[in-house]
Amino acid sequence: MKAIEISIGIVFVYLLLSLIATIVMEIIAGSTAQRGKLLKKTIGKILGDQNLVKDFFNSSLYKQLHLAEGNTPSYISAARFGQILLESLFKGGAKVEFDALKTKIEGLPDSDIKRTLLFYLNESNGKLEDFNKMLNAWYDETMEGLRGAYKRRTQRFLLVIGLCVAIIFNANSIKIYESLNEDDQKRQLIVQMAEKAVANDQFLEAAKPISHEDTSRLDSTVQAYRQQLDSIKLQYAAAANVLGLGWNCDCASNGSWKDVPDSTFINYYALLGCPEKKDTPIGGKQFFYVFFGWLITALAISLGSPFWFDLLKLLINVRNAGKSPSEKKSDTDKEGKT
């Protein structure tokens, strides 16, 4: 049971740090339009022909998406892609007929996109509706590849952010294990925090990425992320104080940042996960030990919050299933009193 409780404590800390890293990454990605830039680059590659690419991004339909989002669009539906492509070929107002479309496509310079469009024209048997369906299906398949590429990129980005988070919060995995292994009271407190987190699912909800299909909510979503980030950092601060993580406070010897009347000062150290009382500074001999602990934490963070949330639920279920009837009755009595 002790091993399971230690695992719960470690996984819970990893979950909190993963949520922090994921939210920070989403805020950065949203603010810098990383999805939009990758989408634009991918569309440029699949269209190939420079003149067609230029006409596509200068079309009125694409510009409307840009204006609506206030940044490079991070999502273009298959139907909208087809409409923009047709507008690019016909330069705006002309009515799209099948024969006219075939003439336009045949007039394109020889390229992969020309051969692809001609193939779909031949397969559609003269029906513009069938051509649009095949074009939409092709675009959706291409975007599946884009989502995979973006996921791989964010995985690397999350590893870098995870290492920064581990250093900023001084989240040393080795020290976390030692604290949980040596102190039964600390371990019980962390397990209780973990059980409360699993009970309401709020942490996993906070880490959901911004929807590609609802990019108009970018500003409001980023604002919601910032609010969730503050809440999660406070949760981590509570866990860090129990485990003795964080950096030294500039408080009096053997004092506590809780004793300082300045609320700004208190919140600053609380949000950073600063221990309530001073800890021993990191010496030169400890550097590699500490850095290795940070690296383990960073690698754990890079796995993402959904992974740790699911694992945490599994461990808690295993722990509860392994309790004796008297322990379960005791837990029920405690819940009734609270």
Model pLDDT for residues 244-272, shown as the tens digit of each residue: 777 755 444 455 545 555 444 444 444 44
How many whole angstroms separate alpha carbon 192 and alpha carbon 268?
Answer: 25
Mean confidence (pLDDT) of the chain: 76
Model pLDDT for residues 106-122, shown as the tens digit of each residue: 888 888 888 888 898 88
Which among 164, 151, 200 has a CA at the least distance from the CA of 24?
164
Q: Looking at residue 338, what is its pLDDT?
A: 46
Model pLDDT for residues 212-242, shown as the tens digit of each residue: 444 444 555 556 666 677 778 778 888 888 8
Considering just the CA atoms, what is the radius of gyration of the chain in Å? Answer: 27
Cβ proximity of 140 and 78 under 8 Å: yes
| Identity of the highest mean pLDDT range in 93-102, 174-183, 250-259 | 174-183
Model pLDDT for residues 55-68, shown as the tens digit of each residue: 888 888 888 877 76
| Average pLDDT of span 44-48 | 84
Where do we find the tokens 């980030």? Answer: 229
Three-state SS at 314: helix
Model pLDDT for residues 119-168, shown as the tens digit of each residue: 988 888 888 888 888 988 888 888 887 777 777 777 888 899 999 999 88
- What predicted TM-score, i.e. pTM, was given to this entire model? 0.67
pLDDT category of residue 203 using cuts at 50, 70 and 90: low
Residue 35 scores a pLDDT above 50: yes
Reported for 284-291, long-range contacts at CB under 8 A and 24+ positions apart, including other chains, are 289/174, 290/170, 290/172
Cβ proximity of 12 and 224 under 8 Å: no
How many whole angstroms separate alpha carbon 89 and alpha carbon 96?
Answer: 10
| Average pLDDT of span 35-52 | 82
Q: Looking at residue 296, what is its pLDDT?
A: 94
| Identity of the highest mean pLDDT range in 44-53, 271-280, 289-298 | 289-298
- Per the model's pLDDT, the better-predicted residue between 285 and 172 turns out to be 172
Where do we find the tokens 């996921």? Answer: 151
| Average pLDDT of span 166-183 | 88
Which among 297, 302, 296 has a CA at the least distance from the CA of 157?
302
Q: Looking at residue 95, what is its pLDDT?
A: 72
Q: What percent of the chain has pLDDT over 70?
A: 73
Backbone angles phi, psi at 199, to 5 degrees: -65, -30
Query: Could you tell me the CA-to-CA distances from 113 to 56, 117, 321 in Å, in that order?
Result: 13, 6, 58
Fill in the amino acid letter for 240: A
Residue 326 scores a pLDDT above 80: no
| Average pLDDT of span 71-100 | 80
Q: Looking at residue 63, what is its pLDDT?
A: 84
Q: Looking at residue 139, what is its pLDDT?
A: 86
| Distance of alpha carbon 229 from the chain centroid | 12
